[in-house]
Amino acid sequence: MSKKVLVINGSDREGSFNGQLAAQLVSELEKNGAAGEILDYSALPLLSQNNEYPNQQAITDIRAQVKAADALLIVSPEYNGSYTARLKNLIDWLSRPAEQGNNEEITVINSKPVAVASVANSTYGKFVRQNLNTLVAYTRMKPMDHEGLGIKIPGSAWGTGQLELESEQQEQVEAFVKEFIAFIG
């Protein structure tokens, strides 16, 4: 049975380079026998103790998708050396118990295999990947023992808006996906 990987795009910018990388990762997962899907969490409200319970339908649906996945693959741009507020909000929601007062509840991300990727400028997303790896470990996910996939935005992409990977970058994507699939077993 093929593994189901939920790909989380930390950017909500239409046509974002990280969104394009997320789509390429889904394609590469499928080439390697895994099922890939990009999570739509655009309806998720900002987490507050004022709106946390009872669970809103958006978070109930997202938790069900995350629970059904064998692993998560997080793709994020680097904003001031870290991840986006949108992505942090999602992880905050997923790290909370679904039932009020049940702090012993195992969350849907507990022990969930995860890896991180970023396409960015000169840093190759180094800092966002470091910070994400720290965050996913802190929230009790199971990060792949790997710094994650870092891709430098090709210069031509700025003019076209299209993320067209160079052959070496495509090889990095392919190797990363194969390693991730082996990691999730």
Residue 114's H or E segment, with its range, is: strand 113-120
How far apart, in whole angstroms, are the C-alpha atoms of residue 3 and residue 79?
A: 31
Residue 180's Cα: distance from chain center in Å? 13
Question: Model pTM greater than 0.85?
Answer: yes
Domains of the chain (ranges; CATH) run: 4-184 (3.40.50.360)
Scanning the structure block, which residue is given the tokens 């999570």? 39
Question: Is residue 21's pLDDT more than 90?
Answer: yes
Percent of the chain whose predicted confidence (pLDDT) is above 70: 99
Dump pLDDT digits (tens) for 98-120: 888 877 778 999 999 999 999 99
Collapsed DSSP state (helix, strand, coil) of residue 74: strand
Q: Tell me the pLDDT band of 76, cut-offs 50, 70 and 90.
A: very high
Residue type, 156: S
Nearest CA to 83 out of 128, 133, 139 is that of 128
How far apart, in whole angstroms, are the C-alpha atoms of residue 15 and residue 18?
A: 8
Q: What is the mean predicted confidence (pLDDT) over 125-152?
A: 95
